[in-house]
């Protein structure tokens, strides 16, 4: 096997291990299927593999390079924390269960309400998205609560923030690993 094939196999193994170790977590926090969760999870796996190859290609064994990897890893760790907060906030705001009270079936709401739905919501404070949708006749009338373009924006926001979260976590792990393992390899030689 050539060097490039070996690197590819090793990269796939590392990303596979990462997603196997944390895959239940990544799948559990993925956007609902209505937002095309398979796309988001699959794309994040490929992008994590690309980030791993970038880290591997750019890694050097010098003390300065190890320090850079540790700094990059720490910055990505902070990005991961901030993106986790942003994703969770967006997820809670843009998803709902239907029928009301059903915890297993999640749907994507829109980023903005139709004028009629907004008026109804303002006159009934504390109404959940699920309850609001029920007042307009349920899922078959979802377009009367959220315009289709608004629902598409919500899907894009959920998928985008999920990708940033997963890639920040993966990038932090890869960068910190390179920084720490680079130090360990340097001590051995």
Which residues does 103 contact at the CB level (< 8 Å), separation at least 6? 97
Is 25 within the bounds of a domain?
yes
Is 81 within the bounds of a domain?
yes
What pLDDT sits at residue 20? 72
Tokens of 162: 């999920």
Measured over the CA atoms of residue 101, residue 104, residue 107 and residue 108, the dihedral's sign is: positive
The alpha carbon torsion through 171, 172, 174, 179 (nearest 10 deg) reads: 140
Alpha helices (H) along the chain: 3-29, 37-58, 63-94, 115-123, 129-135, 148-188
Is 139 within the bounds of a domain?
no
What pLDDT sits at residue 120? 95
Is 74 within the bounds of a domain?
yes
Per-residue pLDDT of the chain (189 residues), as tens digits, is: 554 566 566 667 777 777 777 767 777 788 887 677 777 777 887 788 788 777 777 766 677 778 888 888 899 999 999 999 999 999 999 998 887 777 766 899 999 999 999 999 999 998 989 999 999 999 999 999 999 999 999 999 999 999 999 889 888 888 888 777 665 555 555
What pLDDT sits at residue 74? 92
Residue 97 sits in which domain range?
3-112+147-188
Is 73 within the bounds of a domain?
yes
Q: How far apart are CA 91 and CA 85, in angstroms?
A: 10
Is 160 within the bounds of a domain?
yes
CA end-to-end distance (rounded Å), the chain: 26
Enter the pTM of the model.
0.78
Is 125 within the bounds of a domain?
no
Smallest CA-to-CA distance from 165 within 17, 29, 12 is with: 29
How many distinct structural domains can be found in the chain? 1
What pLDDT sits at residue 42? 78
Is 123 within the bounds of a domain?
no
> Could you please report the per-residue DSSP string of 114-162?
-HHHHHHHHHSTT--HHHHHHHTTSGGGGGGTS-HHHHHHHHHHHHHHH
Count CB atoms within 10 A of the CB of residue 114.
16
């Amino acid at each position: 096997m050539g060097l490039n094939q070996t690197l590819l196999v090793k990269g796939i193994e590392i990303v596979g291990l990462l997603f196997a170790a944390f895959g239940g977590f990544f799948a559990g926090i993925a956007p609902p299927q209505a937002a095309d969760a398979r796309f988001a999870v699959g794309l994040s796996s490929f992008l994590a593999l690309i980030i791993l190859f970038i880290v591997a290609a750019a890694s050097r064994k010098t003390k300065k390079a190890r320090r850079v990897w540790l700094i990059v890893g720490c910055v990505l760790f902070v990005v991961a924390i901030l993106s986790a907060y942003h994703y969770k906030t967006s997820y809670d705001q843009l998803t709902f269960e239907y029928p009301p009270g059903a915890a297993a079936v999640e749907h994507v709401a829109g980023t903005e309400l139709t004028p009629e739905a907004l008026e109804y919501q303002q006159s009934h404070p504390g109404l959940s998205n699920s309850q609001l949708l029920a007042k307009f006749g349920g899922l078959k009338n979802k377009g009367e609560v959220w315009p289709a373009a608004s629902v598409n924006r919500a899907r894009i926001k959920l998928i985008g923030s999920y990708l940033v979260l997963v890639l920040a976590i993966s990038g932090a792990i890869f960068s910190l690993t390179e920084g720490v393992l680079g130090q360990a390899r340097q001590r051995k030689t």
